[in-house]
Amino acid sequence: MSTLDQIKGPADLKALPAGELDGLAAEIRARLIESVSRTGGHLGPNLGVVELTIGLHRVFSSPEEPIVFDTGHQSYVHKMLTGRQDFTTLRQAGGLSGYPCRAESEHDMVENSHASTSLSWAHGMAVARRLQGETRPTVAVIGDGALTGGMAWEALNNIAADKTLPLVVVVNDNERSYAPTLGGMAEHLATLRTQRRYEQAMSWTRRSVQSAPVVGHAAFDVLHGLKKGVKDFLAPQGLFEDLGIKYVGPVDGHDLGDVENALRLAQRFGGPVIVHVITQKGRGYDPATNDEADRFHAVGKINPETGLPLEVSGRAWTEEFSEELVEIARERQDVVALTAAMLIPVGLDRMQAAFPERVFDVGIAEQHAATMAAGLSHAGMHPVVAIYSTFLNRAFDQLLMDCALHRQGVTFVLDRAGITGSDGASHNGMWDLSLLGIVPGLHLTAPRDGVRVRQALREAVAVSDAPTVLRFPKGTVPEPLEAETHRDGVDVMTEDGDGEVDELLVAVGSMVPTALAVAERLRAAGRTVRVVDPLWFLPVTDGLLAELRRSGNARVSVLEDGLVVGGLGQRIAAELPERRVRPFGVPQRFLDHASRGALLAELGLDVEGISTVLLG
């Protein structure tokens, strides 16, 4: 049995002789590469935190000293060291989640699949534990660029004011989020990170106090004084210490001895401490550390020897947007683009290559992106904000009060809209239709194919007095779907006559192919059918209402991949209360991780499920 297979929990890890830890780290990396290459998942972040996670579980006693991971996709090693070593079904139905999961283990405190929240969670937990008489520390591990998020700094502002709160903040500094981390915070960490002479000079001070039974404020201040003298000579004064939070580091995150020493020092301090740990994302796997390292943040199934994809998928929705945006930018000098630490996943890398001065990656700061876009619009530009649908939730107030209230021409492009599946409950883009439907003046479209992505993007950036939203799903774009006719802003995909029919199917975006397949089954059962794509449908357009009236007493079914509550189906029913409207959409609950197809089938949103209901 390998050393890793003998680790059933943190107690086994603590009992392991120090001489066996390097071998354990090597086993963990081999297991990660072997497993994630077969299932897909977040490979690079986890290869980088192997020694750090070993150190965390050797020093702290989880769950009594809780460890909160941010972002949660760097928790695979944590899972292995807390008894979950079978990664064969990672991110699959019934298998391990790709994030911490309370249902899996008592060691998982917070799912934390949306970044920059760990410090607020840990602050609240630490305060509550102190009120209950607990003196042991709470630990937050923040990394992969999450310190670029404003919420993290709101938390630090409050943590710094409480000098006796036993809270350890571990900054996992790997210089990257998805891609290299940008901005002032990244530059500050780089300043600290590159002063290796400082780290070497301070090594003896950490080691000299690590064996002390208690390191209180006085002892820590002696160490701090020594550090300051060296640091002022070799590196600028640390921002964290200027905030009033004790600072340990920078620490080599791949030196197990240094990691443990720094964490033990922080554990015994009795107040808020930041431990700055330098790691290498993708460490131990050459393809994940070379010039294409960004590809290995999250991977599909790959050849573990070469790092190349095993499954060659078709053309992605994102590519259609990416290419068309560059063409528009060539034609219009006022078009600029913003994203929140997702430059490559949302397809802005092409525009950055062509027009680097017109693309802005603001870090994990969706709120700032939305309001910065409002400012850009007010000053005469047309910004395109490209983010994942699920992350728009975080910028809703800014979209509402800064963009819509001020009638700014800002285009939001929502990638991964609808059911995404394997990344779990937090990453399904199922909330946007319900949220955006309450924003006055906002216009929304869901293209059904790549041709419509391109057309819709041009239509969106032509609007100068209101926010526009374009949403599309994850995955491969279908072949172009031509409409039979176009009436009043609505594409009629297929119809049995231009008057009254038995069934009217209103299909939103990626649900159009499903609606067409359902229509064939209804026709086979002797029903007359019309399928329409409403194109721009928030607010509900006069053209769509006219199409509903044209269909006479037809039963109306609305197929959408967002929540039923607040969705298009409910809006149509409210506009025409006399009509029979059946909405097919996502129920108001969080969905377990599984493939998109499996979830659609479970929810009855596939061809079989919808046809069964309509033919029943």
* Averaged pLDDT, 39-50: 85
* Catalytic entry in 394, 416, 550, 571: 394
Cα gap 379→470, rounded to integer Å: 23
The mean-pLDDT minimum among 30-34, 551-555, 583-587 falls in: 30-34
Q: Is 561 annotated as a binding residue?
A: no
Instruction: Give the angle subtended at the CA of 580 by the CAs of 577 and 584, to the nearest 5°.
Output: 110
- What per-residue confidence (pLDDT) applies to 153? 86
Question: For the residues 131-139, what does the mean pLDDT come to?
Answer: 94
Residue type, 270: G
- What is residue 403's DSSP assignment? I
Q: Is the CB of residue 550 less than 8 Å from the CB of residue 498? A: yes
* Segment 334-356, tens digit of pLDDT: 999 999 988 999 999 999 999 99
pLDDT at 197 over 50: no
Task: Reply yes or no on whether the pLDDT at 464 is more than 90.
Answer: yes
pLDDT for residue 140: 94
pLDDT of the residue at 228: 44
For this structure, is 227 an active site residue? no
* Contact between 337 and 383 (Cβ < 8 Å): yes
Instruction: Assess contact for 372 and 362: CB atoms under 8 A.
Output: yes
pLDDT band at 177 (very low <50, low <70, confident <90, very high): very low
476 pLDDT higher than 60 = yes
C-alpha to C-alpha distance for 81 and 104, rounded to whole angstroms = 13
Please give the pLDDT value at position 72: 78
Give CA–CA dist 129/142, Å, rounded.
Answer: 20
**Residue 115 annotated as lining a ligand binding site:** yes
Concatenated DSSP letters for 556-597? EEEEEEEESTTSHHHHHHHH-TTS-EEEEEE-SS---S--HH
114 is in an annotated binding site: yes
Say how far apart CA 7 and CA 165 lie, in whole Å. 32
Rounded mean pLDDT of 562-591? 92
Q: Which domains does the chain have, with CATH numbers?
A: 4-278 (3.40.50.970), 317-471 (3.40.50.970), 486-615 (3.40.50.920)
Distance (Å, whole) CA 245 – CA 532: 59
Q: Which two tokens stand for residue 579?
A: 């009509």
Q: Provide the pLDDT for residue 435.
A: 95
- What pLDDT was estimated at residue 305? 58
Question: Span 480-487, mean pLDDT?
Answer: 96
Catalytic residue among 27, 366, 503, 560: 366
Name the percent of the chain lying above pLDDT 70.
Answer: 84
pLDDT at 204: 38
pLDDT for 149 equals 81
Which pTM was predicted? Answer: 0.82
Residue 285 annotated as binding site: yes
Is the model more confident about 322 or about 616?
A: 322
Q: How confident is the model at residue 189 (pLDDT cuts 50, 70, 90)?
A: low
Catalytic residue among 268, 281, 452, 596: 281
Q: Is 281 a catalytic residue?
A: yes
Is the peptide bond between 100 and the residue preceding it cis, with omega within 30 degrees of 0? Answer: no
Average the pLDDT over each of 4-18, 209-223, 277-291, 442-456 and give the range with the smallest value: 209-223
The pair phi, psi for residue 67, each rounded to 5°, is -120, 120
Helices (H), 309-461: 317-331, 349-354, 366-378, 389-392, 396-398, 432-436, 450-461
Which of 173-177, 183-187, 466-470 is predicted least confidently?
183-187
Mean pLDDT of 66-82: 89
Would you place residue 230 in the very low, low, confident or very high pLDDT band (cuts 50, 70, 90)?
very low
pLDDT at 144 over 80: no
pLDDT at 273 over 70: yes
Question: pLDDT (tens digit, 9 = 90+) per residue, 505-558?
Answer: 999 999 999 999 999 999 999 999 999 999 999 999 999 999 999 999 999 999
Average pLDDT in the chain = 86
- Mean pLDDT of the 475-491 span: 94
Q: What are the backbone dihedrals phi and psi of residue 40, each rounded to the nearest 5 degrees, phi first?
A: 85, 160
The answer, yes or no, to whether residue 479 has pLDDT greater than 50, is yes
Q: Is 456 annotated as a binding residue?
A: no
Structure tokens at 241: 């210490």
Active site annotation includes 104: no
Show the tokens assigned to 204: 């003896």
**What's the confidence (pLDDT) of residue 231?**
41
- Region of 442 (left: φ > 0; alpha: ψ -120 to 50; beta: rest) is beta
CB distance 74 to 49 below 8 Å: yes
Kindly indicate the confidence band of residue 200, based on its pLDDT and cuts at 50, 70 and 90. Answer: very low
| The two structure tokens encoding residue 247 | 């600072």
